[in-house]
A = this chain, B = another copy of it.
Amino acid sequence: MSSIKEVAKMANVSIATVSHVINGTRFVADDTKARVKQAMTALKYYPNSVAQSLRSKKSKLVALIVPNIWNPFFSELTYYIEDELNSEQYKLLLCNSERKPEKEIYYLDMLRQDKVAGILGITYNEIDNSVSDEIPMISIDRHFSKKITCVTSDNFEGGRMALRELVKAGVKKPAFIGNVTAVFSETMKRRAGFVHEAELMGIDYVVYERPDPIRDYETYYKDFFELHSNVDGVFAITDMLAAQYIERASKLGIHVPKDVKVIGYDGIQDHHYFHPVLSTIRQPVEEMARTAVRLLFRKIEGHTLEQETYQLPVIFRQGETT
């Protein structure tokens, strides 16, 4: 089958114009329309039926629930989600949940009323009772319920990788620092991978956690430095926590990476203008975003997905902190 590109070339119009003719999404002059249709016939071009079926659905809205769009990890994710939705002429409804269950539930109501076609979500709340496993919803990064398909990075492998990289950098006593959510979260696997690998390698390690959300970072770090003054390596559950640790440590005369090596998780820095450039386990944000949207489209079309969790591989990105 020929492509939309060839049709556009033959009709001497842009790909967007061909798309508008096919979907009736915008006014196209009659002679242009005729030229596009001639080219489609000549080239035996048939618009993708899956895409067509998606386009014929009533609502062209997908809601994205993020805790806070201001966070660079979420804004990067949102950027790619909007781009992928746009390829099928879907529009993005953005909701900052602030971790409030009522805001999340509000969007589930919209979904029930067919005001949105589907939901992509990073939720922190136990909303199991409100959802059935049939609704078109994909969770990203945080797996809050077994009923909802989740797209995530390989958190366990990321944790193992972080431990190995710390040891490789000469660390003898590594610590994991993080926070524990009340409900199960995929991010907990970062610690699990770290611990697993340390046990495997016979390395003495520390796990330091406090309940999420952490409101008093002063106490959080004070306790850590008091309890674990002998660590020479830190794997922080997020880049932000890693950056925070480094700042606090430097005030106590602990220098990174000289005294303590540090690895974060996420990969929020997309340029090298601000320092330190963190050594980090980089999530494949673009791939996670596009995969989540593609899976959501399949659910909107009524398909059942094969897997409960789609895990995408992470990489270690060397920065200035190991």
Contacts and interface: CB of A to CB of B under 8 A. Distances in A.
A114 to B, nearest CB: 15
A43 to B, nearest CB: 24
Interface string A271-301: 0111110000000000000000000000000
A107 B182 CA distance: 41
A91 B111 CA distance: 14
Chain A interface residue bracket vs B: 35 or more
A62 to B, nearest CB: 10
A16 interface: yes
B102 A243 contact: no
A95 interface: yes
Interface in A55-74: 61, 64, 68-72, 74
Given A244-B273, A247-B273, A82 B96 contact: yes
A95 B64 CA distance: 13
A71 to B, nearest CB: 8
B69 A69 contact: yes
Contact of A75 (B25, B70, B246, B273): B70
Contacts of A91: 93, 95
A231 interface: no
Interface string A78-99: 1100110010000111111000
